[in-house]
């Protein structure tokens, strides 16, 4: 059975300068995700510019393309990428969740603060509300 994940939270913000500096570094940590083509020496092997997306306020956020379905999370399984973002001093969280498939009810992410990162895991818990007569 296939599965699909979603970004539950993405509060990491980067300046345009940080995004420009980190973009190639992050792409190099995940060449299968950020490059198009099979042969890295071929001219058609070009970088996909989707590492970050610009927000209306001019800041950037890590971009996770939902068209990549379960492969959209290029960050949390990549220790080098997490180290690069932490070393750049970014702050915030990126959290993912899966509600469908063989990994249903898995929730994970990463939090950046003070030049460090820590991996996160979570659960969803339902709390009953007040009963109302029919």
Q: Where are the domains of the chain?
A: 4-122
Q: Which residues contact 93 (CB under 8 A, 6 or more apart)?
A: 9, 10, 11, 12, 109, 110, 111, 112, 120
Report pLDDT for 35: 58
Specify the DSSP class assigned to residue 75: S
Q: What is the pLDDT of residue 44?
A: 45
Q: How far apart are CA 122 and CA 96, in angstroms?
A: 9
Say whether 49 sits in a helix, a strand or coil.
coil
Angle at 36 between CA 26 and CA 119, to 5 degrees: 30
Under a CB-based contact definition with an 8 Å cutoff, are residues 46 and 37 in contact? yes
What pTM was computed for the model? Answer: 0.80
Q: What is the pLDDT of residue 45?
A: 42
Tell me what pLDDT residue 15 has.
92
């Amino acid at each position: 059975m296939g599965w699909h994940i979603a970004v539950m939270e993405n509060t990491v913000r980067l300046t345009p300068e940080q995004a420009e500096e980190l973009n190639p570094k992050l792409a190099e940590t995940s060449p299968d995700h950020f490059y198009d083509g099979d042969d890295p020496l071929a001219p058609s092997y070009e970088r996909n510019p989707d590492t970050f997306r610009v927000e209306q306020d001019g800041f950037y956020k890590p971009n996770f393309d939902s068209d990549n379905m379960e492969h959209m999370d290029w960050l949390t399984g990549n220790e080098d990428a997490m180290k690069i973002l932490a070393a750049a001093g970014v702050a915030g969280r990126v959290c993912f969740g899966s509600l469908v498939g063989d990994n249903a009810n898995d929730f994970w992410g990463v939090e950046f603060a003070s030049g460090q990162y820590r991996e996160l895991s979570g659960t969803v818990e339902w709390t009953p509300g007040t009963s109302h007569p029919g």
